[in-house]
């Protein structure tokens, strides 16, 4: 579920002036509590990831890796959820963000939307964006994390398979095999839909799932599995073999 920039700003503002111990749910704007509770109810038994979806007016300012993401949030503890949202929102005012804005000569306000997602304990999970740092259709920006490791941001060039570490700027030991398949899918969706797309994904050595649309409990994660080993079927959850490639 996405907390819009307007909703996030209102919740943060009310939380700042509320008396100590106030119920965070009571500080939400009218009409926001019911859909949020429905989403949280659907996440019982699991954990949430609270992550930023911030943007400015200048598309050249990507802010890659500068904002905070909070994991292991209990969906049944509203105080913990509110604290995670505030922590994510406050990361827009961190010193690294201010330094980056000065270098990029950014003066416009950052719109602070916040995304709440079910936490998927896959080997690797993240989000990929088409038309990456330089706006080229064959360049993909990928935020990902390996289990509990910190999030990494890389720029992937689909033409030559080159990976540029963006944040932190530590090169990868090797390019994961899933990255080329993910980049190819993102480019195909960009071409099909005629604009920039975001693909949320979770992968492990055997399975891959992704979606381009978060829709509360109705979110549909689609399989993107190879489904076979050379010469034989070995994974019933996968897509049928394709003689032409992926």
**What whole-number distance in Å separates Cα of residue 142 and Cα of residue 95?**
24
Neighbours of 102 (CB within 10 A): 10
Tokens of 234: 């070995």
pLDDT for 167: 77
pLDDT for 64: 60
CA distances from 205 to 186, 190, 193, 243 (A): 20, 26, 29, 21
pLDDT for 234: 47
Q: Which residue has the tokens 């719109």?
A: 111
pLDDT for 235: 41
Tokens of 237: 């959850």
| Residue 135 main-chain phi, psi, to 5 deg | 80, 5
Q: What pTM does this model have? A: 0.54
Residues with pLDDT less than 70, the chain: 59-65, 120-121, 148, 205-206, 215-218, 225-246
- Please confirm whether the linkage preceding 184 is cis (ω < 30° from 0): no
pLDDT for 7: 93
pLDDT for 87: 93
Q: Give 138-160 pLDDT, tens digit per residue.
A: 889 998 888 767 888 888 888 87
Return contacts of 156-160, CB within 8 angstroms, 24+ apart: 156/132, 156/180, 156/183, 158/183, 158/184, 158/187
Does residue 109 sit in helix, strand or coil?
coil
């Amino acid at each position: 579920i996405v907390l819009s920039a307007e909703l996030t700003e209102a919740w943060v503002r009310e939380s700042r002036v509320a008396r100590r111990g106030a119920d965070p749910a009571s500080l939400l704007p009218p009409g926001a509590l019911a859909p949020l509770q429905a989403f949280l109810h659907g996440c019982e038994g699991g954990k949430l990831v609270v992550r930023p979806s911030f943007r400015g007016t200048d598309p050249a300012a990507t802010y890659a890796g500068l904002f905070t993401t909070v994991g292991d949030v209990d969906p049944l503890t509203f105080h913990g959820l509110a604290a995670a949202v505030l922590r994510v929102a406050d990361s827009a005012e961190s010193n690294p963000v201010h330094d980056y804005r000065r270098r990029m000569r950014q003066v416009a306000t950052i719109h602070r939307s916040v995304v709440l997602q079910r936490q998927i304990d896959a080997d690797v999970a993240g989000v990929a964006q088409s038309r990456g740092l330089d706006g080229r259709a064959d360049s993909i920006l990928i935020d990902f994390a390996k289990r509990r490791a910190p999030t990494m941001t890389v720029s992937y060039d689909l033409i030559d398979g080159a990976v540029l570490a963006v944040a932190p700027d530590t090169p990868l030991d090797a390019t994961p095999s899933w990255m080329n398949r993910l980049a190819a899918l993102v480019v195909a969706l960009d071409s099909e839909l005629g604009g920039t797309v975001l693909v949320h994904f979770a992968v492990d050595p055997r399975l891959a799932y992704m979606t381009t649309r978060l829709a509360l409990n109705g979110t549909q994660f689609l399989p993107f599995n190879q489904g076979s080993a050379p010469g034989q079927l070995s994974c019933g959850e996968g897509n049928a073999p394709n003689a032409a490639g992926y």
